[in-house]
Amino acid sequence: MHQPAVADTLHPITWPQGFTAAASFTFDVDAESCTIAHDPASTRRMSLMSHQSYGPRIAVPRLLTILQRQDVQATFFIPGFTAESYPDVVRQIVDGGHEVAHHGYLHEPMQGIDAATEARYIDRGLEALFNVAGVRPVGYRAPWWELNWHSPQLLADRGFLYDSSLLDGDAPYRFEVAAGDSRDLVEIPVDWALDDWEQYAFYPGVTGSGVIESPAKVLEMWWLEAQAHHSQGSCFVLTNHPFISGRPSKAVALEQLIERVKGLDGMWVTTMQRIAEHTKVSVTEVHSHARIAVPAFPDAGATFVPARVRQPAPL
């Protein structure tokens, strides 16, 4: 890139010595769970179930081989139901030195659910990951990236360090879990442009337009994004689904991208947990998120509580 990208000045961050930017390759191992959550009747569709099971059965071993060959540790967000259904695959991920993080139990729809219901989903996912692999994850990614306003407190109550479901930054930051609550979480933002679902996903009657992009085009787009994040000193987070990006030509393109990103001078390629741990100890500002209330649209109008940034109280 001839001109450096303009940095995310709202979320300033410095990286460990020797690094000027960060990147993390993440995988949402949804398997059958996301289609079942969308429509429980999908279990009657043998071909659809085979499409989803390709992820843990064929793609994850392929991706683990690629990651080992590239000497890269990744983060795998795994629904509890996937862990229970494919325990050996989850253990292979752990044995490969990768991070296992939380992604719901059955990839449940999150939009508008109450806190008690969401808490049951989180706890059931935690139980499954611990029973299968002895893992107590510190990271969370909401199914469909749908975080609720009460979600951060539920995560803090359970000792999570970070979330990766919001889309309001290029660099990690700390945010308060609720007004008046002194606790905070690290947010590692995501971006739909850096999700393979938008490029490749298609299944009749389930998702997609039927236009499946060329891996060459996707590689070019993601490489441009990686260069921009590197140039501005921010954090490149790629979200892949094994049943999509673990297919042959897509996996080849992904490995080419990993090689290129690793070759960027000063790029820290690591797990989300390590990025979150660094953010927690190196960033002092704690953000809130703007809240909008619309009690009776349109007659009553709306209220807007702006986001703010607070500095920690002096010791």
What pLDDT digit, counting tens, does each position of 168-209 carry?
999 999 999 999 999 999 999 999 999 999 999 999 999 999
**Paired tokens of 271:** 């797990």
Quick check: pTM over 0.85? yes
The one-letter amino acid at 280: K
Burial class (CB in 10 A: 0-12, 13-18, 19+), 166: middle
CB 187 within 8 A of CB 8: no
The radius of gyration of the chain from alpha carbons, rounded to an integer in Å, stands at 19
pLDDT, one tens digit per residue, over 250-294 is 999 999 999 999 999 999 999 999 999 999 999 999 999 999 998
Which residues 6+ apart lie within 8 Å of 127 measured at CB? 80
* pLDDT at position 108: 96
Q: Residue 166 pLDDT > 60, yes or no?
A: yes
Average pLDDT over residues 244-249: 98
At position 220, the amino acid (one-letter code) is: E
What are 95-130's pLDDT values in tens digits?
999 999 999 999 999 999 999 999 999 999 999 999
pLDDT-derived band at 1, boundaries 50, 70, 90: low
pLDDT tens, position by position, 214-242: 999 999 999 999 999 999 999 999 999 99
3-state secondary structure of 145: helix
Residue 240 near residue 26 (C-beta atoms within 8 A): yes
Half-sphere exposure (CA, 13 Å, Cβ side) for 178?
Answer: 12
For the CA atoms of 267, 239, 60, 147, what is the dihedral angle to 10 degrees? 130
CA nearest neighbour of 29 among 56, 50, 49, 65: 56
| Lookup result for tokens 């060329």 | 214
By DSSP bridging, strand 99-102 and strand 75-78 are: parallel
**Structure confidence at residue 315 (pLDDT):** 53
